[in-house]
Amino acid sequence: MKSKVLTIVLGLFLSFSLQAQSPSSKQVFAFYAMKQNAEVMNAFNQKEYKTAIKLLDDFVKAYQKLDKPDQTEFADVLSMCYYNYACAHSLLKKKGKALDYFQKAIDAGYKDYNHATKDTDLDYIRKEKKFEELMKRIRNSGGVAI
């Protein structure tokens, strides 16, 4: 879960770095997203899930300030952000929010069925009917890692 966002953001950042000498708004955002992801992962590792949620909130606010073409380009990062929200809320035993964010992740393009099947962060919501329905959506979409 946590390394995929870093890989996506790092790839975007490196591709933008090769295109210009002065940083574009995309490069700035890619760097910010990479830094923010590292902080979110650190919060998860420290079991500071409320801190992770605040960092994710900050990321979403920054994402919403991007223009539409840039938002489209960073859509995979947003879907992973929502997935991480779902994980944090599940670990905090907030079933409703965890399920809502898991649905947002899928609606935003998350489709890594294999990972979601094994991710212990989601164990608290795994037996919920809504979770099972959402997992069927991922599986039926091809269940390919983003």
CA 99, CA 95: separation in Å to the nearest integer? 6
DSSP per-residue string spanning the chain: -HHHHHHHHHHHHHHHHTT-SSPPHHHHHHHHHHHHHHHHHHHHHTT-HHHHHHHHHHHHHHHHTS-HHHHHHTHHHHHHHHHHHHHHHHHTT-HHHHHHHHHHHHHTT---HHHHHH-GGGGGGTTSHHHHHHHHHHHHTT----
pLDDT of amino acid 20 = 46
CA 87, CA 12: separation in Å to the nearest integer? 24
Residue 115 or 24, more confident? 115
52 closest CA partner among 44, 62, 64: 44
Q: Give per-residue pLDDT as tens, 36-91.
A: 999 999 999 999 999 999 999 999 999 999 999 999 999 999 999 999 999 999 99
Mean pLDDT computed over every residue of the chain: 87
CA 74, CA 66: separation in Å to the nearest integer? 9
Q: Give per-residue pLDDT as tens, 12-35.
A: 554 544 454 567 888 999 999 999
Q: Tell me which CATH code domain 2-140 carries.
A: 1.25.40
CA 59 from centre of chain: 10
**Domains of the chain, residue spans:** 2-140
What is the arithmetic mean of pLDDT over 131-135?
A: 97
- Judged against a pLDDT cut of 80, whether residue 105 lies above it is answered with yes
